[in-house]
């Protein structure tokens, strides 16, 4: 596998290597080892994840929704593991499709392992993704996160990736996050989870740090921002149509919950470096 074309992009500094593969010929060749090499910040291009941009009809995983979405976001974490969805990544992929003339109009749909997502181009240049509804844990068991020598009760929720949201007094309370936070009980987190450490910044305004499974601490996480905002809305008793601003180390995002429960994620998407990489 050599001479692969790529595009580097980011959403609030959550960065990705995009691999154009419209006809699906790289599906069996872009394995875990190749993904780790591409995402390696010292021996590769460097990224939090790798997105194979391919047509939905080329993948058995999502072929059933080919009539709804022409394009499939085949997303992998930096360690090569598969993830259900990526809220920042889907905006970056949508930007790529629009800028390269592969889709028309100001609205497009993208197939993901977490379902079909609709992306809207806003007049100010930002993109809004319909992220689906949050799904709280089915169990009533209390859940806990441990980090930085401390333990907090957590709110487990899927958006659709699994998350554990923790409200802390200070973002530094989580410590350096050089290793994965502890999660318990295991029954609540059978697939592990991303962990969000959240503080208040004002009325309907929060800030957070995030540990992403398969990656480590990142500058932003789209599904994590949605999970954190959703949990804050419940904590604050916010009503239908609530709109929260969320600060992350890489920038700022906005989450709106529609009256039907659909979460909307609005933020930037930027494309940068382009080239080919030899593996």
Domain boundaries defined on the chain:
4-128+268-277, 135-260
Pairing type for strands 162-167 and 194-202 reads parallel
Q: Is 161 annotated as a binding residue?
A: yes
Q: Catalytic pick from 92, 119, 221, 228? A: 221
Tokens of 97: 């499709």
Q: Would you state the structure tokens that stand for residue 165, as one six-digit string? A: 């949201």
Q: Tell whether 100 is in a known binding site.
A: no
d(CA 105, CA 151): 48
Q: Could you tell me where the beta strands, DSSP code E, fall in 91-249?
A: 107-112, 115-121, 127-133, 135-136, 143-147, 150-158, 162-167, 182-184, 194-202, 205-212, 216-218, 243-248
Counting Cα atoms < 13 Å in the Cβ hemisphere of 100 gives 14
Q: Is 212 annotated as a binding residue?
A: yes
Helices 87-99 and 222-236 pack at an angle, to 10 degrees, of 130
Query: Does the reported pTM lie above 0.85?
Result: yes
User: Which token pair is 3?
Assistant: 């001479």
Cβ 201 vs Cβ 169: under 8 Å? no
Name the CATH superfamily for 135-260.
Answer: Diaminopimelate Epimerase; Chain A, domain 1 (3.10.310.10)
Q: Which of 7, 33, 3 is nearest to 20 (CA)?
A: 7
CATH of 4-128+268-277, one of 1.20.1090.10, 3.40.50.300, 3.10.310.10, 3.30.1300.10: 3.10.310.10
pLDDT digits (tens, 9 = 90+) for 96-131: 999 999 999 999 999 999 999 999 999 999 999 999
Give me 109's structure tokens: 């749909």
Contact status, residue 122 vs residue 107, Cβ threshold 8 Å? no
Q: Is 194 annotated as a binding residue?
A: yes
- In sequence order, which residues have a C-beta less than 8 Å from that of residue 110 and are 6 or more positions away? 69, 71, 72, 73, 90, 93, 94, 116, 117, 118, 119
Inter-residue contact 51 to 36 (CB < 8 Å): no
Summarize pLDDT for 139-170 with one digit per residue, the tens: 889 999 999 999 999 999 999 999 999 999 99
**Which residues in the chain land under pLDDT 50?**
1
Let me know if the fold of 4-128+268-277 is the same as that of 135-260.
yes
Q: Is 266 annotated as a binding residue?
A: no
Per the CB < 8 A criterion, the answer to whether 161 and 175 are in contact is no
For residue 226, indicate whether it is catalytic.
no
Which of 34, 39, 83, 86 is the catalytic position?
86
On whether 14 is known to bind a ligand per the annotation, the reply is: yes
**What per-residue confidence (pLDDT) applies to 1?**
47
Amino acid 2: pLDDT: 65
The beta strands (E) that lie in 46-114 are given as 49-55, 71-77, 107-112
Which has the closest alpha carbon to 27: 57, 70, 49?
A: 57
Confidence at residue 279, expressed as pLDDT on a 0 to 100 scale: 73
């Amino acid at each position: 596998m050599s001479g692969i074309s790529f595009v580097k992009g980011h959403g609030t500094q959550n960065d990705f290597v995009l691999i154009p593969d419209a006809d699906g010929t790289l599906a069996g060749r872009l394995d875990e080892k190749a993904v780790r090499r591409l995402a390696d910040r010292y021996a590769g291009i460097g990224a939090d994840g790798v997105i194979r941009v391919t047509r939905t009809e080329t993948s058995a995983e999502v072929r059933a929704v080919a009539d709804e979405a022409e394009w499939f976001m085949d997303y992998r974490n930096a360690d090569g593991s598969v993830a259900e969805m990526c809220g920042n990544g889907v905006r970056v992929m949508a930007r790529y499709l629009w800028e390269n003339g592969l889709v028309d109009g100001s609205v497009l749909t993208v197939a993901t392992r977490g379902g079909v997502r609709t992306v809207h181009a806003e007049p100010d240049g930002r993109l809004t993704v319909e992220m689906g509804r949050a799904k709280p844990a089915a169990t009533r068991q209390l859940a806990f996160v441990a980090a930085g020598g401390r333990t907090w009760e957590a709110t487990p929720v899927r958006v659709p990736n699994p998350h554990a949201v923790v409200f802390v007094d200070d973002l530094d309370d989580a410590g350096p996050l050089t290793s994965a936070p502890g999660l318990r009980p295991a029954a609540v987190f059978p697939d592990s989870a991303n962990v969000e450490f959240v503080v208040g910044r004002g009325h309907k305004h929060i800030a957070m740090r995030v540990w992403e499974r398969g990656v480590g601490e990142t500058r932003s996480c789209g599904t994590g921002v949605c999970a954190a905002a959703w949990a804050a809305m419940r904590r604050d008793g916010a009503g239908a149509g609530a709109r929260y601003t969320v600060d992350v180390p890489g920038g700022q995002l906005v989450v709106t919950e529609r009256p039907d429960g659909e979460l909307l994620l609005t933020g930037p998407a930027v494309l940068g470096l382009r080239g080919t990489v030899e593996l």
